[in-house]
Amino acid sequence: MTREDVIETIKTATIDVPDIRALFLGGSYGNGMADAFSDIDFVLVAQDGATDAISEVWRKAVGQTGTIVLWWDRKTVPVLINAITTDWTRTDVLILKEDQLAQYAQNMLIPLFDHDGLFERLPDKLPEAAPQIGKWRYQFEDFIRILGLLHLAVGREEYINGVLGIFHLRNYLVELLIAQTNAPNRGGVLHLNRLLTEEQKDLLTSLPPPRPERDAMIAAHLAYAQAYLPRARRMADRLGVDWPEDFEAATWAQLKTALSITRPY
């Protein structure tokens, strides 16, 4: 069954259910950026929201597109159902009440049916969100905290844990690089290629891989620190976030005392 067939089958199975007032395509299908690997995101508006009755209707609708092999019914988010069928078609649905649709704009959705004209009441696009100052302050501090734990990992010879620390540093670096490009329509975690510049991709691929060995672990921590911290300082300046000077200085002092490490930038 093609993706178009899946969408049409689910639309047909739900359009006459009295409690379902509207069904939209969201995610990459809603904003026109879907590719052959995209999951199909739906936004469903139900009079009473994400009830068990609506869940059962949705399961029957998805079941008409193929045998369901994974079914997460409101496990991770109270209004979200995830499903995968045997051919690995992935469908997600957010089940909202009418007032909850206000978090969307017209450029984020494609109507499949809309009994009450809800789509026309939405703005063309949402206003640009203000920077999340608290989030960035936490990430700057946590990067330095994880970097500082290097002396503990080396002292205990906890090289496996040290590798896990490198993954955390990498995630923070990726998050920072994405914020620098300010790319629209971020999408899910598997859309990194379209969010980064070629220069940023070169940076990430040039960094040493995490290996559970003492020297490799130290080298990777320092490489990520050199890549992240100067960029993070510039972003902090732009956002008006006070840089944790004392914490960073104490961290480098501890690493120098414990491991004879000096700041690499």
Q: 116-136 pLDDT, tens per residue?
A: 999 999 999 988 878 889 999
The Cα–Cα gap between 260 and 166 comes to: 19
How many residues would you count in the chain? 265
The Cα–Cα gap between 74 and 59 comes to: 12
According to the model, what pLDDT value does residue 186 have?
A: 59
The Cα–Cα gap between 14 and 17 comes to: 5
The Cα–Cα gap between 46 and 21 comes to: 6
The secondary structure of residue 9, as a DSSP letter, is H
Mean predicted lDDT score pLDDT of the chain: 93
Class of domain 133-259: mainly alpha
According to the model, what pLDDT value does residue 108 have?
A: 93
- Fold for the domain defined by 3-121: Beta Polymerase; domain 2 (3.30.460)
pLDDT in tens, 45-89: 999 999 999 999 999 999 999 999 999 999 999 999 999 999 999
Percent of the chain with pLDDT over 90: 83
Q: Where are the domains of the chain?
A: 3-121, 133-259
The Cα–Cα gap between 195 and 251 comes to: 31
Closest CA to 98 of 119, 113, 82: 119
Answer yes or no: is pLDDT of 190 > 80: no
- Residue 37 binned pLDDT confidence (cut-offs 50, 70, 90): confident
Closest CA to 34 of 244, 225, 190, 258: 190
